[in-house]
Amino acid sequence: MRLNIFVSNKTQLRYLLLIIIAMLAPTVIVGSFLYYFIFTLTANQIGVPEAIAYTLFPVIEKINSMVIMVTIPLFLLLLLWGLILSHRFCGPLKRVERDLDRIIAGDGSVRLNVRKDDDIRGVVEKINKVIDILEKGKK
């Protein structure tokens, strides 16, 4: 497990936002539609104003307070999950970029290195092979 979960580059921020929006948007849209339609249809079905006030108003109040209570921890959880996912993609990229900078600077002994479970491992291995071929060509 990497300790530095936020590698602080624009790519990670963009992915982080994308992940959070992708998770939040459907939840908010579907939740809002359900909230609105369930209560509106129920109120229409009940019809009698006193009955609506007596039965639905307390339910609405309870649900609203529950939504408020759940929203903050849920958002924090989504943020953490987004950070982990975006770091999983952007962390290795940052590392590859750093190693490539060293190779460009003339250090031919450097090879790109990523962790075993990183998604771009296959691409990195192929780039390392290309570097090997180029190094052999030089000699």
Partner 1 sequence: MNKYIKITLSISAVILLAVFVKYRIIEPRRPHLEASDIIKYFSFSKESCLKEWEEKILKGRVVYRLEKEGDDGAYVTAKSDNAASALYYRINLDIGKHPIIGWKWRVISFPEKSLPESIDNKKEEDFAARIYVIFPAAFFTGSKIIEYIWAEELEEGMSGTSGYSKNIKVMVLKKGPKPGWEYEQRDVYDDYVKLFGAKPSLNVGAIAFMTDSDSTSTEASCLYDDIKIGYKKGG
Please report, as ranges, the residues that interact with partner 1 according to CB under 8 A.
36, 39-40, 43-54, 56-57, 60
Shortest distance (Å) from residue 58 CB to partner 1? 11
CA–CA dist 25, 12 (Å, integer)? 19
Shortest distance (Å) from residue 59 CB to partner 1? 11
CA–CA dist 20, 10 (Å, integer)? 15
Residue 21: its H or E element: helix 10-46
Nearby residues of 102 by Cβ (< 8 Å), 6 or more positions away: 110
Shortest distance (Å) from residue 55 CB to partner 1? 9
